[in-house]
Amino acid sequence: MNDLTQGQRKELTAEQQWQQFSELKTAQDYIESLRGRKLEVFLLGERVEEPVDHPIIRPSINAMAESYILADEDPQLATVWSSIAQQQINRFLHVPESPQDLVQKNKMQRRMGQLTGTCFQRCAGLDTLSVLFSITYDIDKSHGTRYHQRYVDFLKKAQKRNLIVGAGMTDPKGDRSKRPSDQADPDLFMHVTRRTEKGLYVTGAKAHMTGGLNSHWICVMPTMNMREADKDYAVIGMIPATAPGLTYIYGRQSCDTRALEVGDIDKGNAKYGGQETLVIFDDVFIPWEHVLMDGEYEFAQELVSRFTAYHRASYVCKTGLGDVMIGAASSVAEMNGAETASHVRDKLVEMTHLNETIYSSGIASSYEATQHESGAFINDPILANICKHNVTRFPYEISRLAQDLAGGLMVTLPSQADFEHETIGPKLDKYLQGKTSVSTEDRTRMLRLIENMTLGRNAVGYLTESMHGAGSPQAQRIQVLRETDFGKKQSLAKRLAGIIATDADSHLG
Q: What is the pLDDT of residues 120-146, one digit of tens each?
A: 999 999 999 999 999 999 999 999 999
Concerning whether 219 is annotated as a catalytic residue, the answer is: no
In this structure, are 274 and 354 located in the same domain? no
* End position of a domain, from candidates 239, 264, 296: 296
In this structure, are 257 and 336 located in the same domain? no
Concerning whether 441 is annotated as a catalytic residue, the answer is: no
Concerning whether 40 is annotated as a catalytic residue, the answer is: no
In Å, how far are 88, 326, 335, 346, 424 from 343, measured between CA atoms? Answer: 48, 15, 16, 5, 35
- Would residue 4 count as lying in a domain? no
In Å, how far are 32, 36, 57, 193, 278 from 249, measured between CA atoms? Answer: 21, 18, 12, 23, 5
In this structure, are 375 and 400 located in the same domain? yes
In this structure, are 316 and 262 located in the same domain? no
Q: Using an 8 Å Cβ cutoff, are 357 and 395 in contact?
A: no
The answer to whether residue 188 scores a pLDDT higher than 80 is yes
Q: What does the pLDDT read at residue 471? A: 87
Of the residues 54, 123, 128, 334, only one is catalytic, namely: 123
Quote the DSSP letter at residue 356.
Answer: H
Concerning whether 372 is annotated as a catalytic residue, the answer is: no
What DSSP string runs through 240-268? ETT-TTEEEEEPP-TTGGGGGSSSSGGGS
Concerning whether 423 is annotated as a catalytic residue, the answer is: no
Q: Using an 8 Å Cβ cutoff, are 136 and 148 in contact?
A: yes
In Å, how far are 73, 479, 506 from 304, measured between CA atoms? Answer: 34, 11, 34
How far is residue 329 CA from its own chain's centroid? 25
Q: Using an 8 Å Cβ cutoff, are 154 and 290 in contact?
A: yes
Which CATH number belongs to the domain containing residue 267 in this structure? 2.40.110.10
Of the residues 119, 147, 151, 216, only one is catalytic, namely: 119
List the one residue out of 328, 315, 347 whose CA is nearest residue 475: 315
In this structure, are 288 and 333 located in the same domain? no
Q: Quick: pLDDT tens for 261-320.
A: 999 999 999 999 999 999 999 999 999 999 999 999 999 999 999 999 999 999 999 999
- Would residue 46 count as lying in a domain? yes
In this structure, are 384 and 457 located in the same domain? yes
* CA separation for the pair 41, 106 (Å, rounded): 32
Of the residues 30, 315, 359, 462, only one is catalytic, namely: 315
Of the residues 311, 387, 392, 462, only one is catalytic, namely: 311
Concerning whether 277 is annotated as a catalytic residue, the answer is: no
Q: Using an 8 Å Cβ cutoff, are 479 and 379 in contact?
A: no
The domain tally of the chain equals: 2
Q: Quick: pLDDT tens for 308-367.
A: 999 999 999 999 999 999 999 999 999 999 999 999 999 999 999 999 999 999 999 999
pTM for this prediction: 0.94
In this structure, are 315 and 289 located in the same domain? no
In this structure, are 279 and 253 located in the same domain? yes
In this structure, are 222 and 371 located in the same domain? no
Q: What does the pLDDT read at residue 1? A: 37
Report helix, strand and coil shares of the chain as percent, to nearest 5.
55, 15, 30
Of the residues 116, 136, 210, 392, only one is catalytic, namely: 210
In this structure, are 158 and 279 located in the same domain? yes
List the one residue out of 314, 295, 372, 470 whose CA is nearest residue 132: 372
- Would residue 194 count as lying in a domain? yes
Give the pLDDT band of residue 10 (cuts 50, 70, 90). Answer: confident
